[in-house]
Structure 1
């Protein structure tokens, strides 16, 4: 639930793909529409893979207002780090007097290395 927002979460809406010089479809995230929301984030897990190079995967659960415009194709920035939305966001609604507790739950993933 979204009772105590702890972070500003900036959603980057995925822009339409363009073509590079070799005619490959690319997404230029610098042109993404940026929308900020007050939300709450909680760490879920982090893991490290060591093969030819180190890779760290971090997951966060992010709770946003139910009206937040975010899809599974977008990205989000939290505390200066950019995450990919992992899976479809879920809207949880309350009924009657609990309707004020509605929220949208989004799983965020960051891969480094």
Structure 2
């Protein structure tokens, strides 16, 4: 079981409904152009998150890893699948860091913007 977040570059949508539409469009683009390298802002953001919680392939204790699968970044978006046991702590950090860096953070389970 995982808890997922999407973080992207762009203007913060006015509300959750618009954010959901942007999220769907970006995920569709990611599915079509999955080989597109992430933008420099997304790469830097992902590196900062992974500095705090290494990718499960690099973690010493995979049972205590933050990720259920490696984060996927393409173009202006990154999609995180967090281990449910770490979701509260990791998602709070990821959302706060996104906000600090002027990125948009969206929770697809709750269909809402964070923070």
TM-score between both structures, scaled by the size of structure 1: 0.25
Which has a greater percent of helix?
2
- Which of 1 and 2 has higher RCO (CA within 8 Å, sep 6+)? 2
Q: Which has the higher strand share?
A: 1
Larger-Rg structure: 1
TM norm structure 2: 0.24
